[in-house]
Amino acid sequence: GAVVSQHPSRVICKSGTSVKIECRSLDFQATTMFWYRQFPKQSLMLMATSNEGSKATYEQGVEKDKFLINHASLTLSTLTVTSAHPEDSSFYICSASSGNTGELFFGEGSRLTVL
């Protein structure tokens, strides 16, 4: 089946630095990608929807200047956590929509720890 890959799977950074997480659709072109955040024992919270070649649409309460999303090609979307703080530590998950079926395929997730 279709595969979506995230990188890195784990990242530890110092407070104040920026971290980039990549989400790639490996065998299909993804016109739409979604970024989620998951807190321990909580559900996945949708952060933003990114469409190739246009600006991302952020959910209410998500700081667009804090979480920069770029969807420059049909196979790659990136999430950059700028000036990270310990409260940004979380599990970030992306999903990509196959234009053919509309089905969502999820990445393995990236665990960010900010010291």
Partner 1 sequence: GDSVTQMEGPVTLSEEAFLTINCTYTATGYPSLFWYVQYPGEGLQLLLKATKADDKGSNKGFEATYRKETTSFHLEKGSVQVSDSAVYFCALGGAQGGSEKLVFGKGTKLTVNP
Q: Report the interface residues with partner 1, using CB under 8 A.
A: 4, 6, 32, 34, 41-44, 46, 49, 93, 95, 97-98, 101-109
Q: Which is nearer to partner 1, 84 or 93 (CB)?
A: 93
Q: Which is nearer to partner 1, 82 or 106 (CB)?
A: 106
CB of 18 to partner 1, least distance (A): 24
CB of 64 to partner 1, least distance (A): 17
Q: Are 109 and 38 in contact (CB under 8 A)?
A: yes
Question: For every residue of 43-92, which 3-state class applies, written as one string?
Answer: CEEEEEEEECCCCCEECCCCCCCCEEEEEEECCEEEEEECCCCHHHCEEE
Q: Which is nearer to partner 1, 35 or 84 (CB)?
A: 35
Token pair of 57, please? 């649409």
